[in-house]
Chains A and B, each alone.
Chain A
Amino acid sequence: MESWFRLLFLERVSLRAVKLTLFIPLFAFGISGCAATKNLFGFGEEETPPPAEIPEGQVIEPEVERREIREPEIDSEDFEIGAFAGIMSIEDFGSDLVYGVRLAYHVTEGFFVEGSVGQSEGGLTSFEILSGGAQLLSVSERTLTYYNLNVGYNVLPGEGFVGEGRAFNTALYISAGLGSTSFAGDNRFTVNFGAGYRFLLNDSIALHVDFRDHLFDIDLLGEEKTAHNLEGTLGVTWFF
């Protein structure tokens, strides 16, 4: 924290740079404001125009009080939040429990964007088991934590029938995206893709089955390679 302070306030060279970087945007802002001096901030209250003259022949000005429905009064439930748990196979490090949280925003009936964070634990490599005592990683380095930001599409929306009288809305979806994985002492740029099945128990609660491959480069065992880390999870989400 101290170094921040010093960076921003004490170091003279930086101070000049800060002043410069602050001045230029302010200047740019000033210029853009000139075009609309009357209403600098654009969003403020506009000057009220003079009242329109009542056209000839119209005796009574209609005064209908309307009870308009404004959109925000309708509860819109486009966000989906939830938790998931399952098995993740970390290449060379065995399979272990994975768990995490997921947040999605449904842009259209087809497209959605989602972000997830998950955590798993790497086991022993076969090298470590066969060599007896050699440890490639410390305990804390074996913890795998990832986050990703994905774009998804509901490929096959439909209905699932349970028995004769019950129908549930479902969707088979695919999604892919970017993120970072913290594992083996490093943050690794990670690409992921996968597919899942969403089963809506009612209009707000959904069950998920999701299969995903997380790809990142790792050079821990000699040469650099792209590791495929497969993950299968079950999840519950709530629309809000």
Chain B
Amino acid sequence: MSERNTTTILLTSRSIKALLIVVLAVLMSQSPNTAIAQVAGEYKTVTVADPYLEMHTGPGRGYPVFHVVDRDDSIEIIMRRTDWFQVRAPDGSEGWVDRAQMERTLQTTGSEIVFAEANQEDFTNSRWELGVLAGDFGGSNIISLYGGYSINPNVSVEVWGSQILGNFSNGWMGSVNLTHEVWPDWRVSPFFTLGTGVIHTEPKSTIIQGEDRTDQVAHAGAGFRVYASRRFILRAEYKSYVVFTSRDDNEEVEEWKVGFAFFF
């Protein structure tokens, strides 16, 4: 079922834009806290339990301490950036406090507060995952973006979008696959995957007088997800593709990729 497709550069740049919009939409919807409006004056309040609490001028280790809040004083938490919290002291001065010190503050009820850092348990049990991988697809370069949803700790569904950039042809591939992790609680967690999708190839006009093709693909593969730290995952995988061409024989393509991902 090869179809002649008059794909132009304009269309390609439009599809790049479309891809970006999708990525932005996904990322924005994943920011879990933007939806909750922070009304002025309704910040969460905690009480300092350490002898004192150090406020830095910026959200980083190197920024100097410019203000100290004494024990039993209340501070308001304005916002969080990575592992730093912007707080307001009773005298109105605002500064940044690291997570370790914030952990040693008390809530209004007197109970300790927990600012959980993502850990390996979250790596096993998280539901959403978003990542980028790059590598080799049958001799061509491939860049892939994927989003995954875990049905249970072992099984997840993934949607992939890839761009293939080769010497003789370029193309796009979209696929859906199921992955099965045998030991999801391991730090280096092996997985198997099976899926199907569609590949679109455009031969480079300067080299080959070919026509654009859209074919169905099926793939099987295996790889590793490695918990790096916080929300970071490193991922390496091998997939073997069968392209169901309209010609008599099917094409087989091998793919190797490495990359990183986050879980939410």
Contacts and interface: CB of A to CB of B under 8 A. Distances in A.
Interface in B77-124: 77-86, 107-109, 111, 113, 115-116
Nearest to B42: A73
Contact of B24 (A73, A103, A119): A103
Closest 3 pairs (CB-CB, A-B): A42-B152, A25-B178, A189-B165
B199 to A, nearest CB: 11
Interface residues of A, number: 77
User: At the interface, is chain A mostly helix, strand, loop or mixed?
Assistant: mixed
5 contacts: A25-B194, A68-B107, A71-B115, A78-B80, A158-B62
Contact of A188 (B8, B165, B220): B165
B17 A117 contact: yes
Contacts of B83: 108-109
User: At the interface, is chain B mostly helix, strand, loop or mixed?
Assistant: mixed
B244 A73 contact: no
Interface string A185-203: 1111100000000000001
Contacts of A73: 36, 44
Contact of A3 (B77, B82, B214): B214
Contacts of A109: 59-61, 81-84
A66 B231 CA distance: 29
B32 A187 contact: no
B153 interface: yes
A74 B79 contact: yes
B9 A182 contact: yes
Interface of A: 3-4, 6-8, 11, 13-14, 17-18, 20-22, 24-25, 28-29, 32-33, 35-36, 40-43, 64, 66-69, 71-79, 81, 101, 103, 105-109, 113, 115, 117, 119, 140-141, 143, 145, 147, 149, 151, 154, 157-159, 167, 169, 178-180, 182, 185-189, 203, 219, 239-240
A11 B1 contact: yes
A107 B44 contact: no
Contact of B80 (A40, A68, A76, A103): A76
B151 A157 contact: no
Query: Which of the four size classes fits the interface of chain B?
Result: 35 or more
Contact of B107 (A3, A67, A186): A67
B189 interface: no
Nearest to A67: B109
Given A3-B1, A18-B216, A36-B152, A106 B82 contact: yes
Interface string B142-171: 010100000111110000000101000010
